[in-house]
Chains A and B, each alone.
Chain A
Amino acid sequence: MSGDHHNTDDTGPAARVKALEALLTEKGLIDPAAIDAIVDIYETRVGPRNGARVVAKAWTDPAYRKRLLANATSAVAELGFAGPEGNHLVAVENTDRVHNLVVCTLCSCYPWPVLGLPPVWYKSFAYRSRAVSDPRGVLKDFGLELAPDVEVRVWDSSAEIRYLVIPERPTGTERMSEDELAAIVTRDSMVGVAKIAAPASRRGDSRRARA
């Protein structure tokens, strides 16, 4: 049971939202065009591609990586990304010794400006409950098995800080450009539930997260 079934018909929540929007519009409090614009922003412009750009730059520009680790909010703003849930960003870096994983056990806080709106699994009760008590087990659900000597750091977004994981740069990407690198950075790797596969092994089963 995840509590994340989706109502797509015109009853239940769909009808209630329709009623609410109509009422607020009638009262002159809200403009449907403004609603369309916000939906469009999150469907087309704000998403994990933003975070991927940040990671690719951090991989290729040591000075930027340093700024990102020191102050992610301003480093992310350098690339033009800012907005709600992005006022206190913190970047944490995965290495071969340390693996970071981000969760929000109390609701589903997520760094919107760099990753967009959270996927269903991030909001699921299964993830919210177990990420803190059984992080290695949760990672196995994603097909990622960490060596027992790798330190796991789980970040529970219980306040206003929003976390971005800088995944490990896979081997075999030394010759890739920043744009090419940005194309291989996945959303899941920036939450910490996946690694990025090396380009050579990406042709195989893309679900295998292990590089």
Chain B
Amino acid sequence: MNGVHDMGGMDGFGPVVREWNEPVFHAGWEGRVYAIMSLATRLAPFDADEFRHAIERIAPVRYLASSYYERWLAALETLLVERRVVTRAELLAKEDAAIDQALIANPVATQGPARVKDKTGSKPPRARFAKGARVRARNLNPSGHTRLPRYVRGKAGVVERDWGVFVFPDTNAHHAGTKPQHCYSVAFDARELWGKPVNSRERVYVDLWEDYLEPIASNSKRQATKRKTVHRTGRP
């Protein structure tokens, strides 16, 4: 989903501020949330893909106004309520009247992808791309979970490494199949990503599943250059 969590390349958040002698947890409850989350995956089986998506489903305004562990808490409540491990009413009944306005398990819904049938007993899929292959990140905009950041969509890069076969998050997060496939480290030139005269000695390596990528034919480099020229001269 094109959510506010997909922050790569956004402006306006100011400088990075470092905290000196930072504790692991800033309050007791942060550690409790972390630990309950580690244990909860055993009571209501959900994996990292679903957990990440539960965080992404938090409404943007609330996402931005929450700290990291507040987002974890919201995702945890969401998943435990959705899996009927606890009910919303039970949670509210346990809480103090002072915080009954707390927003529990009320994220925006997103539509997942169509179900893919898992092939059982089949061999791991073959890699479509080899090291050095020129690829383009597809311009995909799924309404559900994805790990294809917006800032690389439509951009050309080079396959640097094949990390092997991984479960596909876009389907897995929605219980729509594991769709195992190769995941690659794809190197993008910073100028390709940001289109400004940035330092030419900068590259961003993004780990992308095969379904996120399409090959760039060997002769398309010239076409792409030509298209760019048309845009520059033909349009203001």
Contact = CB atoms under 8 A, between A and B. Distances in A.
B27 interface: yes
Contacts of A21: 32, 36
Interface in A147-164: 148-161
A175 interface: no
A22 B90 CA distance: 11
Contacts, number: 247
A154 B95 contact: no
A7 B98 CA distance: 15
A116 B24 contact: yes
Given A5-B67, A30-B43, A154 B207 contact: no
A200 to B, nearest CB: 23
Contact of A30 (B8, B39, B90): B39
Contacts of B208: 158-159
Nearest to B6: A106
A183 interface: no
Nearest to B43: A29
B235 interface: no
A142 B208 CA distance: 29
B149 interface: yes
B209 A159 contact: yes
A16 B95 contact: yes
A106 B183 CA distance: 17
Interface string B134-174: 00000000000001110100000000000100100100000
Given A18-B29, A42-B31, A159-B208, A151 B203 contact: yes
A13 B73 contact: yes
A132 B193 contact: yes
Given A7-B67, A158-B208, A20 B34 contact: no
Contact of A43 (B8, B25, B91, B185): B25
Interface stretch (A31-39, A52-60, A74-82): A31-39
Contacts of B175: none
B19 A121 contact: yes
B117 to A, nearest CB: 23
A152 B17 contact: no
B213 interface: no
Nearest to A125: B13
A176 interface: no
Interface string B113-151: 000000000000000000000000000000000011101
B34 A129 contact: no
A16 B98 contact: no
B169 to A, nearest CB: 8
A110 to B, nearest CB: 11
A117 B34 contact: yes
A38 B201 contact: no
Nearest to A3: B64
B217 interface: no
A129 B10 contact: yes
B202 A152 contact: yes
A120 to B, nearest CB: 6
Contact of B204 (A20, A116, A154): A154
B94 A124 contact: no
A39 B67 contact: no
**What 8 pairs across the A-B complex have the smallest Cβ distances?**
A105-B8, A159-B207, A19-B94, A38-B35, A39-B31, A129-B10, A126-B13, A6-B26
